[in-house]
Amino acid sequence: MISLDNPRDSAEQVVSNLLRVPAPADELGRIFADHGHTLHLVGGSVRDALLGRAGDPSDTSATGGTGGGAPDLDFTTDARPERVLEITRGWAEATWDAGIAFGTVGLARRGVRFEVTTYRSESYDRTSRNPAVTYGEGLQEDLVRRDFTVNAMAVSVPGHDFVDLFGGMADLARGVLRTPGPPEASFDDDPLRILRAARFEAALGLTPVPELVAAMRSRASRISIVSPERVRDELRKLIASRDPVAGLERLVEVGVADLVLPELGAMRMEIDEHHQHKDVYAHTMTVLRQAMALEDDGPDEILRWAALLHDIGKPRTRRHIAGGGVSFHHHEVVGRDMTRRRLVALRFPKDVVDAISSLVYLHLRFHGYGSGEWTDAAVRRYVHDAGTQLSRLHKLVRSDCTTRNRRKAENLARAYRSLEERIADLAAHEEIAAIRPELSGDDIMALLGLPPSRLVGQARAYMLDVRFERGLLGREAAEAELFRWARENDIVIPGETPTPDEAPDA
């Protein structure tokens, strides 16, 4: 975080950092100046220059950024979109105009992406998800419409004159989050900014000022007009941020989670008078933090979502036991289905939905391992069912231990180490990472003379069970096992003459 002990030094530091912006940015500024237009770098690029940090994929600015890799460089200008395309023709190596209706033109040069937006002075229909764009006449009018003061700073290019009309640099120094204008008006204009406030708290450690929190709470219902896709994108950035717990807890506090992720707040169940179970919400946040500590290389979105959602089935499955205590039988099954429904409603990609739902379903499987009495078949099934998520499942199971009982925690850790060792031992002798029957569906049809049918699927399922129970048999033994199953199920094997009892009825 920056210091304002010497404001002159801070401003000079800003300029110094901005000089490290890719050279094409200044090139673009000179083109605009040569054609009589102004160009200012705005948003997250300026904010991150003040912080002395490279762009973070989860910390893209309020008005741009791809969310994958370094954010785009965002600019504002007095030139209209058609003029931007005209004066950059021949300089830009690629252009795109998907946002031209909102005053934005995309450019690319030397691997750098630029988003150039004409000064805007927009207002939102209170029932619409999109702004009704009108062009502004000056930089101040453009900056005041931005979401937060820390994103309402600008630097001219190529001159590098720093513009901070709303105290964004001071807010960064104090670690607070404010809006340039009244927060209620800002959230009325674009309710998605409520989610962005939580995301910037999670990503940058900026604490919303009390009036901003009050506006988040009073305008929470406005989030209902925002499309699921935009909500999803903000939640994905939040979960991948440095401290997602802070942002998630803020959403629960102001009531927004009840609308976009209602399962989260529902986990705040009262602890019974005998303290026989933990508060599921608090436990979940601990599991999320512990899962993050096990990440290998940067944020693992799937692991984080699985940690956040692994117990969402508990509120629906809670049952009080006579004499005290609580049970949550089959909460992993209910939780899997709830997870899938929520993520589908938020338009998550299918592969992400499948991976997270599978982890939620499997997170309790290990607890049947007990004192290490699983058969090799059970270990093979565990690996098979986890599939490509096995590494994440290891981390999720370890993170799910939040007991304060040191002996219990050590026993659980010891048991899971034992399971991992058995998996490694089996893997050293056979391929268990992607267990399949030794006979494929085509093999089964050829050996039994069957057309594609449900019967072939049943035979394959049986051979998969054999693979689990007995490991690799070899081709000859696998075929013998298939033939034995076929005879038991009254399937005539090509080349064999049925016994009189087996002969089909005339």
Q: Cα separation of 274 and 324, whole Å?
A: 7
Residue type, 67: G
DSSP string, 38-62: -EEEETHHHHHHHHT----TT---T
Domain 281-429 falls in which CATH fold? Hypothetical protein af1432 (1.10.3210)
Model confidence at 292: pLDDT above 70: yes
Classify burial at 466, counting beta carbons within 10 Å of its beta carbon; exposed 0-12, middle 13-18, buried 19 or more: buried
Q: Cα separation of 310 and 304, whole Å?
A: 10
Classify burial at 75, counting beta carbons within 10 Å of its beta carbon; exposed 0-12, middle 13-18, buried 19 or more: buried
What average pLDDT does range 102-121 have in this prediction? Answer: 90
Classify burial at 27, counting beta carbons within 10 Å of its beta carbon; exposed 0-12, middle 13-18, buried 19 or more: middle
Collapse the DSSP code of 73 into the 3-class scheme (helix H, G, I; strand E, B; otherwise coil) and give the result: strand
Q: Determine the pLDDT at residue 276.
A: 44
Model confidence at 381: pLDDT above 70: yes
230 token code pair = 């935009």
Model confidence at 340: pLDDT above 50: yes
The answer as to CATH 1.10.110.30 being correct for domain 175-260 is yes
Residue type, 490: D
Q: Determine the pLDDT at residue 286.
A: 94
Residue type, 73: L
Spatial CB neighbours of 205, under 8 Å, sequence gap ≥ 6: 1, 175, 242, 243, 246
- The CATH number of the domain covering residues in 1-174: 3.30.460.10
Highest mean pLDDT among 226-235, 421-430, 480-489: 226-235
57 confidence band (pLDDT: 50, 70, 90)? very low
Cβ atoms of 64 and 26 within 8 Å: the answer is no
Instruction: Give residue 167's region: left, alpha or beta (phi > 0; psi -120 to 50).
Output: left
Sign of the four-CA dihedral 372, 375, 380, 386:
negative
CA gyration radius, the chain: 30
Q: Which of 116-125, 376-385, 401-410 has the lowest mean pLDDT?
A: 116-125
Q: Determine the pLDDT at residue 498.
A: 65
467 confidence band (pLDDT: 50, 70, 90)? confident
Tell me what percent of the residues of the chain surpass a pLDDT of 70. 82
Q: Determine the pLDDT at residue 125.
A: 61
What average pLDDT does range 412-427 have in this prediction? Answer: 81
Domain coordinates in residue numbering, the chain: 1-174, 175-260, 281-429, 436-506
Q: Which residue has the higher pLDDT, 58 or 291?
A: 291
